[in-house]
Each structure stands twice: as C-alpha cells, then as structure tokens.
Structure 1
Amino acid sequence: MTSMVELIRAVVRRELAALRPPALGVVTGVHPHSGDGDEFNDEVDVRLQHEGLTLARVPVAVAQPGTVAPLKNGDLVLVQFLAGSLAQPLVTACFHHADDRPPLHAEGDLVIEHRVPGDDTRNQLRFAADGTIRIDRDLGANGTAKASVVLTKDGDVEVTCGTLRVKGNVVVEEDGDLTVSKGVFRASDGGKTTEISGTTITGKPGGPSA
C-alpha cells in the first residue's frame, strides 16, 4: 500500500512539474493588424525572463473586442499558459518598471498616455481627480504641450494651440461675448475683409493672407 501511495505521489509531482507556471517576459516583436490581407490580431513575440526562450505571436488580452492598445518592444508583460501548456501562451498583463515609468499623476487621476514609437512624443488624455478633463498633444517634460484642450471642472473650455481652424459655423448665444484680447480680429467674405484692431475698424478688398 505504501509503495502504491508513493507511486501516486510521484506521478502527481511529475504532472505538476510539467505544468507551466505564469512567467514575466519582455516583448521583442509586435504584429499589428495593419491591413485587410494580414492574419495578425495584434500578437507579440515575447522572450521569457530567466530562460531566454522566445515565444512567437502570443495573443494579447484586451478589455473588450474592438479595443486597441498595442504593446511595444521592451514592454514587461505577464505570460500565462492555458492548462499549463507551453503551446498555449497568453499575454494577460503589462507593467511599468524602472526604465518605463508611469506618467506623473495625482491620487485619483485617470491618465491614458500614447507614447509614440521611435521618439519621445507623448500624447495624453487626463481625467483629473477634481473633474477636469485635459488633452495634451506632444506633452514635454516641463509640462507644456504643442496643443491642449482643457474642460475645467466649472464647465469652461480652454484651447491652446498655434492655429485654430474651424470649418463650419461658430455661434455665440445666450448673451455671450466674443473677446479678442490681443492681435487682430479679421472677417472675410466674398473677397472683402474687415479687420478690427483696438478701436480701429478697417475694410478692404481681398481675403486674409494665409
């Protein structure tokens, strides 16, 4: 009886040893679904840490179908194995680390940051803890951006950019004001232009210069 128990234990130990536990890995290649003719579904190649074994075209878990948040080379990920099988790996999570830290944020902030591959460009969508919503294009280390849109907690909308172009109608209602604090207000229609600068109103033929 004792020998039978030991045999069963040995079989169990052998079977458990054959099961692959979860492992950390580093992304070494990405396969985005970039064209109708490809067979990729945003899989990645992963090199398992401490083993040197590379797994090709590993499926990546997403929050829901239709969501795209591609990983990039160098990302640290968690690889789990369906039924403990090396033949069925899945990337189920990714992590920040010392060389790829999270964006700066206050407690309660929700931040989505797109880190453009190949350079240091960072585009950011931030839902602040106080209710402010902010979009920044090419956010620099000093906190400034090439363009930004801010929806304040009080309901104001602030746009900061080089040039703002509106293709369509702009309507000011409810006894609102249109204020130009600096520069020239210029309106053009039918080849004629009206300019307001300070207390001077000028009308002249020709459209505004580009």
Structure 2
Amino acid sequence: MDSMVEVIRKIVESEIRKLHIAELGVVTSIFPHSSDSDKDNYECNVKLKYNDLELRKVPVATQHIGLANIPNVGDLVLVTFVNGDINAPIVIGRLYTDEDRPPVNKEEEIVYTLTKGSGLRMDFPGGMVLSVTADDASVEAGATTLKLSRDGDVTIESSAKINVEAAGDMSFNAANVKIESKGNMEIKAGATAKVEATGTLNIKGAMVNIN
C-alpha cells in the first residue's frame, strides 16, 4: 500500500513540475502594431531568465483596450501561463532592476519618465490628437495645430479663424513684431489710439487717408 502511495505521489509531483505558473524573462524582440498594414498584434519574444528557452510572439497584456505601451528590448518581464501551459504564455508586467531603476517618486505621486526616442500620443474621438516627444509637444484639433518646440518656438496653424480675447489687458513684447495680411487689415480702438516710434515711422499705401 505504501509503495502505491509513493508511486502516486511521484506521479503528482511530476505533473506539477510540468505546470508553469509564472517565470521571469527578458524581452529579445518586439512586435508592436506599428502600421495598419502589418499583422503584428502587440507581442514580443521573451527569453526565460532561468532556463535556455525563448518564447515567440508572446501576447502582452494591457491595462486598457486602446492603450499601447510595448516593452523595450532588454526589459525584465513577468510571464504567466494560461492553465499552466508553456505554449500559452502572456506577458503581464515589467519589473525594475538594479540597472533599470525607477524614476525618483514620492508617495501619492505619479511620475512617467519617457526614455530617449520615445513619445506619448493620445488620440481622442473626433480627431483631437495630443503628442509629446523629447523635442516638441503638439495639439491637433482637426485643421488647427498648436506646436511647442524645445528650442522655444511656438507655432499656431489653422485653416479656419483664430480668435484671441482677454477680459483684461493684453500685451505683446518681442525683439521684432511683424503683422502681415493677405487681404484687408483693420485696427480699431474704442477710445484713444496711439502709434509711436523712437525712430522713423513710415506710412505707405496706394492712397493714404487721414481724417
């Protein structure tokens, strides 16, 4: 009887060892859905850390449908297996290491540090797009674009109207100011108006009316 129990115990232990619950692995290749024409579906190749086995085209779990943030090559990831089957792996998370430390953060603080060459893009229904890279940030709303460059340039482009309004005072201060209209231009003051130059003031037109 004892020998039968021992045999059963060994069989159970052997079967349990065949089950894969979770493993650490290192990403060796990535397959993001980078183009509408590709067949990739947010996957990566992972080499398991504690045995000489590379898993191919492992699906990557996401926190939200519509969110994409594929792991980088070299990232340490946690892989789990559906029903313990090594042929059904899923990457469920990434881990920091002694080499890849987390950004400095405090309690109740959310910090997202972009790596070199990476970017953040948010697409909203209706065509609104917010994009941030290491060099610039832009907001696109249909045919209107606001772009902020790291070198300090600010660009606003629109195929429609641009309105700037302020309930209080408004001032423009720059080394040089140039205003050009391809059509008509109107400058109007509800009270006093003053045009002054410390140098030459030129007024030129096909006809100049002063009233």
The TM-score range, normalised by the shorter chain, is 0.5 to 0.7
DSSP-derived class of the 2:10 partner: helix
Q: Does 1:163 align with 2:153?
A: yes
1:178 to 170, 173, 177: 170
Q: Which has the larger radius of gyration?
A: 2
Shift of 1:46: 0.5
| Higher normalized strand content (fraction of residues) | 1
Against the structure 1 CA distance between its residues 193 and 107, is the aligned structure 2 distance closer, same or farther, given a 3 Å change threshold? farther
Query: 1:187·1:193 contact (CA, 8 Å) conserved in 2?
Result: no
Against the structure 1 CA distance between its residues 18 and 147, is the aligned structure 2 distance closer, same or farther, given a 3 Å change threshold? closer
Shift of 1:202: 6.5
Q: Does 1:189 align with 2:181?
A: yes
| Alignment coverage as a number of residue pairs | 172
Q: Distance in 2 between matches of 1:100 and 1:202?
A: 63
Identity %: 31
Q: Distance in 1 between matches of 2:154 and 2:202?
A: 23
Shift of 1:100: 2.2
Against the structure 1 CA distance between its residues 203 and 21, is the aligned structure 2 distance closer, same or farther, given a 3 Å change threshold? farther
Query: 1:113·1:124 contact (CA, 8 Å) conserved in 2?
Result: no
Per-residue CA deviations over 1:38-65 (Å, capped at 9, x if unaligned) read: 3211110001112121111001000122
Shift of 1:16: 0.7
DSSP-derived class of the 1:113 partner: coil
Instruction: Report what 2:35 is aligned to.
Output: 35
Q: Distance in 1 between matches of 2:169 and 2:203?
A: 22
DSSP-derived class of the 1:102 partner: coil
Q: Distance in 1 between matches of 2:149 and 2:99?
A: 31
Please list every run of 5 or more consecutive structure 2 residues that lacks an aligned counterpart in the other structure.
122-130, 139-147, 187-194, 206-211
Please list every run of 5 or more consecutive structure 1 residues that lacks an aligned counterpart in the other structure.
126-134, 139-145, 150-158, 206-210
TM-score, structure 1 length as denominator? 0.67
Per-residue CA deviations over 1:21-50 (Å, capped at 9, x if unaligned) read: 311110000112233443211110001112
Query: 1:111·1:124 contact (CA, 8 Å) conserved in 2?
Result: no
Shift of 1:12: 1.3
TM-score, structure 2 length as denominator? 0.67
